[in-house]
């Protein structure tokens, strides 16, 4: 009889627990956390390889950096949800967020966000002072510069937001080597140039939602053709950037260039497409695969330096 009661209780609490976890992961935008951790680790890994240090001797440093980066990224994302409570219910993409559904009350969201940011910064400063400083710059760039200042005011909000998205690999590098090197700049520029065409594709898909929320995204203000031109220009800017990492070898440069040229061809095809939304979805998916593949290639070819 007691077993039956336990089974019944488990059935009742199981879905609730799963739902809470799902809402919590949505609150901290776990997809963004994971993708940024890839670039953070890449920066750290390249720093180990370029400086000749062995990563097995710095496992504590890796733990501080990765956990610290995860917490400040998740904390910043939660703060974004807290700030955007008034517009999130308008957009289909965001109306299921726990701050909209009421699953997490505003004061709880603010507490989670600040706790994550503080603990994350403590961990990054433990890794290195420079990593902690770059973490603070990333937080301010995303929360203040992008979310509070630019997002609702300027059509250039996507470019402004790209600053914060390009900082995680610098945090990873700075945890190992506090010197701002040529390779650090390369990682920043690659991530910076990658983001506008990625987010413009998303903005095209969600144009009506952004318009309803009065967010001046480029497709809303300038239209699809102007957005396609901007995407093309950013991809053209991206093409030479892997050559800043020439020390990774000719094979890396060839593969990275092929990825960029593939994206360029897809961007060019957008000017003759009959279905802009379908094309934008292809651009969005390609951009995700492009970023992941490029940074995994960096990790692999850094081994052979």
**Residue 202 tokens, joined:** 């998303």
At residue 180, the pLDDT reads 87
Query: In angstroms, how far is the first alpha carbon of the chain from the final one?
Result: 65
pLDDT in tens, 270-299: 999 999 999 999 999 999 999 999 999 999
SS3 content of the chain, % helix, strand, coil (to 5): 85, 0, 15
Helical axes 168-176 vs 182-205, angle rounded to 10°: 160
Identify the three-state secondary structure at position 294: helix
Q: Give this prediction's pTM.
A: 0.92
Distance CA 72, CA 136 (A): 9
Look at residue 7 and tell me whether its pLDDT is greater than 50: no
At residue 2, the pLDDT reads 41
Look at residue 174 and tell me whether its pLDDT is greater than 80: yes
DSSP structural state of residue 270? T
In the chain, the domains with their CATH numbers are 28-302 (1.10.600)
Give Rg (Cα) of the chain.
Answer: 21
Query: Average of pLDDT values for 207-229?
Result: 97
At residue 8, the pLDDT reads 44
At residue 13, the pLDDT reads 46
Distance CA 176, CA 207 (A): 41
């Amino acid at each position: 009889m007691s077993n039956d009661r336990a089974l019944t209780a488990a059935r009742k609490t199981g879905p609730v627990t799963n739902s809470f976890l799902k809402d919590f992961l949505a609150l901290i935008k776990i997809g963004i956390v994971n993708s940024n951790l890839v670039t953070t680790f890449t920066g750290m890994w390249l720093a180990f390889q370029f400086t000749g240090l062995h990563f097995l001797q710095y496992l504590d440093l890796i733990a501080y950096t990765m956990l610290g980066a995860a917490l400040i990224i998740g904390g910043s994302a939660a703060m974004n949800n807290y700030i955007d409570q008034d517009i999130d219910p308008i957009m289909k993409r965001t109306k299921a967020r726990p701050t909209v559904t009421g699953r997490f009350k505003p004061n709880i969201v603010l507490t989670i966000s600040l706790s994550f940011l503080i603990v994350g910064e403590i961990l990054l400063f433990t890794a290195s002072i420079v990593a902690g400083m770059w973490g603070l710059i990333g937080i301010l760039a995303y929360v203040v510069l992008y979310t509070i200042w630019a997002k609702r005011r300027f059509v250039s909000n996507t470019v402004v937001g790209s600053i914060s998205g390009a900082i995680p690999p610098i945090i990873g590098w700075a945890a190992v080597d506090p010197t701002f090197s040529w390779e650090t700049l390369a990682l920043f520029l690659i991530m910076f140039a990658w983001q506008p065409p990625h987010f413009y594709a998303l903005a095209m898909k969600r144009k009506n939602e952004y318009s309803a929320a009065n967010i001046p995204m480029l497709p809303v203000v300038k239209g699809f053709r102007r957005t396609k031109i901007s995407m093309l220009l950013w991809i053209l800017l991206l093409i030479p950037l892997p050559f800043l990492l020439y020390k990774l070898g000719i094979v890396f440069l060839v593969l990275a260039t092929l990825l960029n040229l593939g994206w360029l061809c897809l961007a060019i095809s957008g000017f003759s497409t009959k279905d802009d939304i379908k094309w934008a979805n292809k651009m969005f998916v390609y951009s995700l695969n492009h970023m992941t593949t490029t940074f995994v290639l960096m990790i692999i070819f850094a081994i052979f330096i």
